[in-house]
Amino acid sequence: MPDHPTAQATEAILIAASDLDPNSLTEPEIVRKALLSLATASDYQIFGVCADSQIQGHLALKAYTKAFGYEVPPTIGKASQNSEHGIYIKFNPRTNLCHEDTYSGKYRGVLVSYQSDFADGHCGTYGHFPLDLFHL
């Protein structure tokens, strides 16, 4: 794999790694590099975290935003730390807004949505990636 893959090749890596069981991700470093590489082809990213608990969700969000070069998100909502169904956190670094709610879906992990203001910028959403892909 070249040091600087094309956006199309990088996107293929992310599509192939999306929604895998976190334990079956065999090359996490390649996925980390692909996520960060594609960020250079977009203007900003929005993060969606599906986790079992508020604490687990906050840790994942902080690790991902730090890896992408964003400030740590502001204090997040008031959801229960131990929801019986899980928690969903959405963070938009451009607006610095964070939303948190209970989540009853089966998926756990992080969605990364690439956003562009220009026609030649990359747009797309990929994931769910492992909550611990970017360890703090």
Give Cα separations from 15 to 12, 73, 97 (angstroms). 5, 26, 27
pLDDT reported for residue 88: 95
Task: Kindly state the helix (H) or strand (E) to which residue 53 belongs, with its residue range.
Answer: none
- In sequence order, the β-bridge partners of residue 78 are none
Q: How confident is the model at residue 132 (pLDDT cuts 50, 70, 90)?
A: very high
- In sequence order, the β-bridge partners of residue 15 are none
String of DSSP letters for 58-113: HHHHHHHHHHTTPPPPPP-----TT-SS-EEEEEETTTTEEEEEE--SS--EEEEE
pLDDT reported for residue 2: 41
On the question of pLDDT at 68 being above 80, the answer is: yes
CATH for 7-129, among 3.30.360.10, 3.40.50.80, 3.40.1350.10, 2.40.30.10? 3.30.360.10
Question: Hey, what amino acid is at 85?
Answer: H
Show me where the domains of the chain are located.
7-129
